[in-house]
Amino acid sequence: MKYANRQIDELRLEVGRRLSEKRFIHTLGVEEMAVLISEKCMPERIDEIRVAALLHDISKEYSEAEHISLLKKHNVEFSDEDRAVPSIWHSITGPLVVMDDFSEFATEDVLSAIRNHTVGSPDMSLFDEIIFLSDYIESGRTHTDCVTLRNKLLTEALYFENEEQFITQIHSAVVESLENNIRHLTSQNNKIHSKTKLTRDAIKAKLER
């Protein structure tokens, strides 16, 4: 899907109006990182990658009541496991906001990337992985784990020999970010969503094939 620059610029402005300054700066960081990565492995999809990055946290700052009313409107329910992890609610309601308010951008890939950007999914596409990873390593992230992974991937992006090798590098970076998340949540005695481990195992298996 291609969009005119003007359309994407207008989308960026609207997202900026809807998010806090901090969240918007993070969003722009995700857009920048996602473009950088996709230039190397799916240059023809950059417009849609930009759209997914700009919209990925669109409902992150919603109140519980706002999340619930969106679910009701769309006849969608949280699973018990989803309900227990409020930090992932926005990946379930985000696609609903996009369908309601940004329908011209509501492609399958954009909706799926938003849906899968928090805990992943065992059948994630490369498009999904790029948004997932960019969210974790965008330049505003200062945690050592994020910085290490960012530097590793950016070095890889500079010197990669072929596209396939770079894509393998993206898969391993996603596995590493999931493992970092699992370690972090375990150390804080927080609940780990089952999809996080399922996604890690599925991508690991793909890498071993």
Nearer to Fe ion, 135 or 176 (CB): 135
DSSP 116-150: TTTT--TT--HHHHHHHHHHHHSTT--SHHHHHHH
Measured torsion, CA atoms of residues 153, 156, 161, 162, in degrees rounded to the nearest 10: 10
Stretch of 57-65, 73-81, 120-128, 194-202 lying at the interface with Fe ion (CB under 5 A): 57-65
Stretch of 1-9, 43-51, 135-143, 177-185 lying at the interface with Fe ion (CB under 5 A): 135-143
Q: Does residue 124 contact residue 132 with C-beta atoms inside 8 Å?
A: yes
Give the residue from 209, 57, 52 showing the smallest Cα distance to 126. 52
Stretch of 41-49, 54-62, 158-166, 170-178 lying at the interface with Fe ion (CB under 5 A): 54-62
**CA–CA distances in Å: residue 62 to residues 28, 66, 90, 92, 117:** 19, 6, 8, 12, 17
- Please work out the total of residues on this chain that contact Fe ion, with binding judged by CB under 5 A: 2
- Interface pick for Fe ion out of 34, 135, 173, 174 (rule CB under 5 A): 135
Q: Is 70 helix (H, G, I), strand (E, B) or coil?
A: helix
Binding status of residue 57 toward Fe ion by CB under 5 A: yes
Nearer to Fe ion, 62 or 166 (CB): 62
Q: Which residue has the tokens 């995700």?
A: 30
Nearer to Fe ion, 43 or 86 (CB): 86
Tokens of 63: 């109140």
Binding status of residue 138 toward Fe ion by CB under 5 A: no
Nearer to Fe ion, 31 or 57 (CB): 57
Nearer to Fe ion, 146 or 168 (CB): 146
Residue 25 CB, nearest approach to Fe ion (Å): 11
Give residues in contact with Fe ion (CB under 5 A): 57, 135
